[in-house]
Amino acid sequence: MIAEAFDRQPQRSKQLILDRLRGRAVKSKGLPEIDRSRLVRFDDPLAQFRETLGFVGGESHLVDSPEQVREILMGIEVFANAERIASTYPEAIEPTVQLDRTGDPHLLSSLDWTVVRGEFAIAENGAIWIDGGTLPHRVMIFIAQYLAIVVSRSQIVDHMHDAYARIGTPEPGFGVFVSGPSKTADIEQSLVLGAHGCRKLQVFLTP
Amino acid sequence: MSTALPIVDHPQAAKEFVTNVPRSHWHDDSLWFVRTKRDRQAQSLPEWEYLRESASAIKRHTIANLPDYLQEFEANATRMGAVVHWAADADEHNEIVLELLQKNHTQRIIKSKSMLTEECGLNEFLIENGIDVVDTDLGERIVQLRGETPSHIVLPAIHIKKEEVGETFHRHLGTRKGEADPQVLTEAARGHLRGKFLEGEVGITGVNFGIAETGGIVVCTNEGNADLGVSLPRIHIACMGIEKLIPRFENLGVFTRLLARSATGQPITSYTSHFHGPRDENSELHIVLVDNGRSRIRDSDTFRDALNCIRCGACMNTCPVYRRSGGHSYQATVPGPIGSVLGPTKDMKAHKSLPYACSLCGSCTDVCPVKIPLHHQLLAWRGVLVGKRLLAWNKRIGMKAASWLFRHPRLFFAAGYMARTALRYLPHSLTHNRLNEWAIDRELPEPPKQSFRAWYAKNRSEKQPEESR
């Protein structure tokens, strides 16, 4: 079995698959363009975003300054007691874990909180786009027990079409839409927040 | 009755599940709950039907031009720093993955959900070769610990009751005996799997969408297990069926709006992750493109649209047969309506009963976000099976007899008269004997007083147009 595996000729299978596909020409219409005028528009994208975020299990806060973010977080018991905090938003939260000095992402396994910036938010589904380029370690947003995302409330698009248009051409790297906390309903369809990732999600909407 | 009879397979496999009436109803209700959540989300978007049409058109266009888009994808993924592998079939896919693991001297794999790797039997293959594979999706972990297979492509453990999960976790994870609270059980799995995540040496994921234009891949999860699984180890292997491709980055707008709404009635999955190349210069991203029969489906004008499938599971949630008979009754990697279309493409004989596990109600076709004409395809399969003489003898003879009868109007008239008369006088024990399977749970209709022909002659004959006979 193992010998066979190393005897494979990778290019052969590529050619085989392409030949199989090219052996059957299939006529098709062109790629359709989306007619933007047919897509939903929200009168109040901010209100829609907050409502949807609540529906998917996240909590949102309207804030006007980094100090306010800090105040609200300090009022949350699990934050006030947190020891290991990663933050890319030092204006409000000073990190207690120095990410640039952490080489191995496994060392972040005991993170209590992560506070990061989001690029923009989406009204229709409560999602926030996080550009992996802003994260010293991408695992920080998945491994922390709790997650807070700071995003400007002036940066809310209506739907995913606008979201992808806004991202433009992706650079090499990583990006993720986060919509609410990690969740599962795999046991009898009972919704449980905090499956593998963050147990709760706080979203701070700055001016 | 012998299992060699094609029509028996699915009913036979479903028997245990459906004879447990309360459980069958519980299963039915669970899935209907998901279906109603889907409806609420679909109805919340005025452009829902427009999105379905667009998704269908994009997929059709992609499948038609698949060889070009695959090459474009490979070129761009390589440019992004990923390594693209091509696997003609399941065996080759498994060997490519094993080779990668052995080359890197890795033993511990953390896996997120991938129906493709289920289809290829990757777990069993790796375990046979001494590799430790841990499924990290909670539902998949539950079925893995129980030595079962997923019964649904999105909700792998939908057939298992919480008390049974508690029993499994008590045995494997040391939770309290009798614990059945989903919150507590999920917490136990979280703790257990955290350890596995930290030990994992390679992360394996499926792929929801591959983008030809950018060479990127998109993975959608609610639990965040795919992300944890690939953000810790140095190596990420993404296994992708060749039909998972979409041409442009902007096309994701259509599909990310449809997928979770159709699947679980969420506006989007909690995490929608976009990978363009490996994490950093020390990391590796391998993308394994797998054919395994897909090019053959593409050859068929009748079944080609089945390649549109984005594996949302909406057709299962709505299917009256699936909901009552459970996913395992299909004895195929993908169950439900789409599985009944795909199964026979792999092995017509083995899965010949699946196109009959269907009432042709058409509900699957109505909810499919990429507009696969599922019930039409299931009907078409029956035609193919009859042509190949794979139909059960009792159906075959019945059909032949009916066809002969319909071709002989006088005999048809006589048969109708006899049936109407007989139904009136025959004792129940004779019409509901064991040979008449149809009548096991049904009553025969009240016989009408006269035939339609007689009624027509009496009431409408004077208005008959002249040209008709």
Interface list for B 200-239 with A (CB within 8 A): 214, 216, 222-225, 227-228, 231-232
Which A residues, 26 through 85, put their C-beta within 8 Å of a C-beta on chain B?
Answer: 26-32, 34-35, 38-40, 52, 55-56
Q: What is the pLDDT of residues B281-292, one digit of tens each?
A: 999 999 999 999
pLDDT of residue A8: 60
- Report, as ranges of residue numbers, the positions in chain A whose pLDDT lies below 70: 1-9
Greater confidence (A86 vs B392) lies with: A86
Q: Look at residue B58 and tell me whether its pLDDT is greater than 80.
A: yes
Q: For residue B86, give the nearest of A14, A138, A187 by CB distance.
A: A14
CA B352 to centroid of chain Cα atoms = 16
Give me the pLDDT at residue B447, please: 85
For chains A and B, what is the number of CB pairs under 8 angstroms? 258
How would you classify the pairing of strands B235-241 and B202-205?
Answer: parallel
**Shortest Cα distance from B177 to chain A (angstroms)?**
17
- CB proximity A114 to B under 8 Å: no
Confidence (pLDDT) at A144? 98
> Which residue did the predictor score with more confidence, A105 or B429?
A105
- The whole-number pLDDT of residue B469 equals 46
**Contact A144/B at CB under 8 A:** no
Distance CA A57, CA B270 (A): 10
- Provide the ipTM: 0.96
Most B CBs within 10 A among A186, A201, A203, hence the mutation to make, goes to: A186
Share of chain B above pLDDT 70, in %: 96
Q: What is the 3-state secondary structure (H, E, C) of chain B?
A: CCCCCHHHHHHHHHHHHHHCHHHHHHHHHHHHHHHHHHHHHHHCCCCHHHHHHHHHHHHHHHHHCHHHHHHHHHHHHHHCCCEEEEECCHHHHHHHHHHHHHHCCCCEEEECCCHHHHHHCHHHHHHHCCCEEEECCHHHHHHHHCCCCCCCCCCCCCCCCHHHHHHHHHHHCCCCCCCCCHHHHHHHHHHHHHHHHHHCCEEEECCCEEECCCCEEEEEECCCHHHHHHHCCCEEEEEEEHHHEECCHHHHHHHHHHHHHHHCCCCCCCEEEEEECCCCCCCEEEEEEECCCHHHHHHCCCCHHHHHCCCCCHHHHHCHHHHHHCHHHHCCCCCHHHHHHHHHHHCCCCCCCHHHCCCCCCHHHHHCCCCCCHHHHHHHHHHHHHHCCCCCHHHHHHHHHHHHHHCCHHHHHHHHHHHHHHHHHCCHHHHCCCCCHHHCCCCCCCCCCCCHHHHHHHHCHHHCCCCCC
Q: How confident is the model at residue B462 (pLDDT cuts 50, 70, 90)?
A: low
Establish if A5 belongs to a structural domain: no
DSSP letter (8 states) at residue A9: -
Q: Is the pLDDT of residue B189 over 80?
A: yes
Residue B272 has pLDDT above 70, yes or no: yes
pLDDT at B35: 98
This prediction's pTM? 0.93
Residue A6 lies in a domain: no
Chain A residues inside the 8 Å CB shell of B298: 21, 24, 26
Higher model confidence: residue B420 or residue B371? B371
CATH classification at residue A97? 3.40.50.10420
Residue B101 banded pLDDT, cuts 50, 70, 90 = very high
* Per-residue pLDDT reduced to its tens digit, B174-185: 999 999 999 999
- B180-187: long-range contacts (C-beta < 8 A, 24 or more apart)? B182/A187, B182/A188, B182/A190, B182/A192, B183/A190, B183/A192, B185/A187, B186/A184, B186/A186, B186/A187, B186/A192, B186/A194, B186/A195, B186/B138, B187/A194
Q: pLDDT-based confidence at B234, cuts 50/70/90?
A: very high
Round the average pLDDT of chain B to a whole number and report it.
93
**B305 pLDDT higher than 60:** yes
Q: Does B5 score more than 80 pLDDT?
A: no
User: What is the per-residue pLDDT for B7?
Assistant: 44
Burial B401-418 (b: 16+ CB within 10 A, else e): eeeeeeeeeeebeeebee
Put simply, the answer to whether B33 touches A138 (Cβ < 8 Å) is no
The predicted structure's pLDDT at residue B100: 98
Minimal-distance CA residue of chain A relative to B82:
A172
Given pLDDT bands bounded at 50, 70 and 90, which one contains residue B465? low
Chain B environment of A52 (Cβ under 8 Å): 267
φ/ψ of residue A108, rounded to 5 = -90, 5
A11 in any annotated domain:
no
Q: Please tell me the predicted confidence (pLDDT) of residue B395.
A: 79
Per-residue confidence (pLDDT) for residue B18, from 0 to 100 = 92
Alpha carbons B270 and B223: distance in angstroms, whole number: 7
Least confident of A85-89, B5-9, B332-336, B393-397: B5-9
Chain A contact for B136 (CB, 8 A cutoff)? yes
**A80: three-class secondary structure by DSSP:** helix
Question: Residue B231 and residue A160: Cβ atoms within 8 Å?
Answer: no
| Structural domain containing residue A84 | 43-206
Beta-carbon count within 10 A of A93 CB:
23
Establish if A169 touches chain B: CB-CB under 8 angstroms: yes
pLDDT computed for residue B464 by the predictor:
56
**Chain A contacts in chain B segment 265-284 (CB below 8 A):** 266-277, 279
Question: Does residue A82 lie within any of the structural domains?
Answer: yes
The more confident residue out of A2 and B96 is B96
Question: pLDDT value at position B23?
Answer: 95
pLDDT band at B449 (very low <50, low <70, confident <90, very high): confident
Domains of chain B: 6-38+313-387 (no CATH), 48-136+201-295 (3.40.50.10420), 408-463 (no CATH)
> What is the tally of structural domains in chain A?
1
> Measuring CA to CA, which residue among B221, B194, B108 is closest to residue A110?
B194
Mean pLDDT is highest, among B136-140, B434-438, B443-447, B450-454, for B136-140
* Any domain includes A19: no
pLDDT at B3 > cutoff 70: no
Residue of B30 and A2 predicted with greater confidence: B30
Cα B332 from Cα B309, distance rounded (Å): 16
| Mean pLDDT confidence for B187-212 | 97
Give A20's Cβ-side CA count (13 Å radius): 23
In this structure, is residue A18 part of a structural domain? no
Residue of B nearest to A18 (CA): B67
Q: Which residues of B touch A167 (CB under 8 A)?
A: 249
Residue A5: what pLDDT?
44
Residue A136 belongs to some domain of the structure: yes
Query: Can you tell me the mean pLDDT for B405-427?
Result: 90
A8 is a domain residue: no
Q: Is the per-residue pLDDT at B4 higher than 50? A: no
| CB of B154 less than 8 A from some CB of A | no
Q: How far is A91 from chain B (nearest CA, A)?
A: 26
Which pLDDT score is estimated for A3? Answer: 41
Task: Work out the pLDDT band at B425, boundaries 50, 70, 90.
Answer: confident
